Structure 1
Amino acid sequence: MTKLSVNVNKIATLRNSRGGNVPNLLKVAADIESFGGQGITIHPRPDERHIRYQDARDLKKIVTTEFNIEGNPNQKFIDLVLEVNPTQVTLVPDAVDAITSNAGWDTRKHADFLTEVIATFRAKGIRTSIFVDPDTKMVEGAAKTGTDRIELYTESFAEEFAKGNKLAITPFVKAAKTASKFGVGINAGHDLNLDNIKFFKENIPNLLEVSIGHALISESLYLGLDNVINMYLNRLK
């Protein structure tokens, strides 16, 4: 079964919009786990507009499933990850002013940098994943860095699937097969939702984990968090 890691950035955004501690990020994370969620993902950004660096430290103390920290590996981020020592770190090439992740790494252009950063994290026993577009050349480049996994950037699939274009899955299948050929694990995320997740899961071989935040939290506003978690789990069986 593919694991579901829930990105709680949107909970932090809601909390920060009023100040104080409502909703309580730690309680939400614990509830997600109690409802069956198999991991917690956060993506702190330099301006801390949603997840704060202290949130990473606090969550480490209470997360009992997998803890995944995403972000652009600048020195502040690297230092945080090494301090917190999560289960997994996902490297994302975000610009400082990016609203959300919008591209995967050029793993050939940044090969030396990624190789060095990944070696640093792996020496601490932290599983590594590189955010990549569904491009076999980028997957091959990722494999050469020594990363444990890739995370397929799925926005293009989600947009086309919503239009009825199921062939949009094709490059993702090819990318996944390439990753498997090199012994690299496969994660996926970005704009996956209740409408497209089952089709994606059924077509991507060896899919280990999906990280879902914006869609899941939005759907939960209508359907209830406990219900939505289990709806995802059923689709991922």
Structure 2
Amino acid sequence: MTKLSVNINKVATLRNARGGNNPDVEKVALDCELFGAEGITVHPRPDERHIRYADVYALRPVLKTEFNIEGYPSKEFIDLVLRVKPTQVTLVPDAPDQITSNCGWDTKTHQAFLTELMDTFGEAGIRTSIFVGTDLELIEYAAKTGADRVELYTEPYASLYPKNPEAAVAPFIEAAERVHKLGMGLNAGHDLSLVNLKYFHDNIPWLDEVSIGHALICDALYLGLKKTIEEYKNCLR
């Protein structure tokens, strides 16, 4: 079954809005595991506006499921990942002041840079994933870097899904088939929700992992965290 990794950035955003430690990011992460999530994702940014580097260090020894750290590979980020040694590192091409990820890597232009990083993280025993769109050539170049997996940027799918689900998922099926053929693992994330996740999974059943944060935390405000995680996992069965 496709694994659900819960991105807890929004929990940290809420905590940071008032200072102190409410909600407790570490406790929420452990509760996500308890309620059935198979992984926890964090995306520390340079300004630490949500997840802080200290959170990453605190989470590593207590988590029992897969730990995924995503972010732009600045020197500080690389050092953090190599010290923490999570299960997986997901590289995204975000600018420091970017609100959220909005595109995949140009893996052709940045091939040498990404290849060096794949070697560095691979030697440390960390599974590697590169955030990409559905361009087949760029997926080919992602494979050339030596990445273990790619994560498909699914915002275009989520945007078109309400109007035309078949058209929305079509390029992602093609991209996923190419990833599968190249022998890489397949992750997906960004704007996946209870509205569109099941259809995406039903059409791409060999997904290894989805990483979901914003929509899941919003749903939890109404359904509660335990029920929400159960509902997301139902979409992946």
> Normalising by structure 2, what TM-score?
0.99
Residue in structure 2 matched with residue 38 of structure 1 by the alignment: 38
Q: Check conservation: 1:2, 1:207, Cα contact below 8 A.
A: yes
Deviation at 1:206, TM superposition (A): 1.6
The separation in 1 between residues aligned to 2:42 and 2:133, in whole angstroms, is 20
Matched, 1:194 2:183: no
The separation in 1 between residues aligned to 2:234 and 2:194, in whole angstroms, is 10
Structure 1: any 5+ residue segments left out of the alignment? Answer: none
- Structure 2 matches for 1:1-237, cutoff 5 A? 1-237=1-237
Q: Deviations over 1:201-220 (max 9, x none)?
A: 01114210000000000011
Q: Check conservation: 1:111, 1:145, Cα contact below 8 A.
A: yes
Bigger mean CA deviation after superposition, 161-170 or 203-212: 161-170
Deviation at 1:164, TM superposition (A): 3.6
The separation in 2 between residues aligned to 1:74 and 1:93, in whole angstroms, is 10
Deviation at 1:166, TM superposition (A): 2.6
Q: Deviations over 1:35-82 (max 9, x none)?
A: 001000000000000000011100101110000000000100000000
The separation in 1 between residues aligned to 2:16 and 2:183, in whole angstroms, is 41
Residue aligned with 1:125, SS: coil
Residue aligned with 2:77, SS: helix
Residue aligned with 2:129, SS: strand
Q: Check conservation: 1:92, 1:104, Cα contact below 8 A.
A: yes
Question: What is the identity percentage for the equivalent residue pairs of Structure 1 and Structure 2?
Answer: 62
The separation in 2 between residues aligned to 1:76 and 1:181, in whole angstroms, is 34
Q: Check conservation: 1:160, 1:166, Cα contact below 8 A.
A: no
The separation in 1 between residues aligned to 2:145 and 2:47, in whole angstroms, is 29
Residue aligned with 1:28, SS: helix
The separation in 2 between residues aligned to 1:208 and 1:218, in whole angstroms, is 24
The separation in 1 between residues aligned to 2:173 and 2:205, in whole angstroms, is 7
Residue aligned with 1:162, SS: coil
The separation in 1 between residues aligned to 2:232 and 2:96, in whole angstroms, is 31
Residue aligned with 1:94, SS: coil
Residue aligned with 1:115, SS: helix
Q: Deviations over 1:14-53 (max 9, x none)?
A: 0000000000000000000000010000000000000000
Deviation at 1:162, TM superposition (A): 2.2
Deviation at 1:123, TM superposition (A): 0.2
Q: Check conservation: 1:176, 1:205, Cα contact below 8 A.
A: no
The separation in 1 between residues aligned to 2:100 and 2:163, in whole angstroms, is 22
Structure 2: any 5+ residue segments left out of the alignment? Answer: none
The separation in 1 between residues aligned to 2:47 and 2:181, in whole angstroms, is 39
The separation in 2 between residues aligned to 1:205 and 1:227, in whole angstroms, is 23
CA RMSD of the aligned region, Å? 0.7
Runs of 4+ in structure 1 deviating by more than 2 angstroms, as ranges, are 162-166
> Normalising by structure 1, what TM-score?
0.99
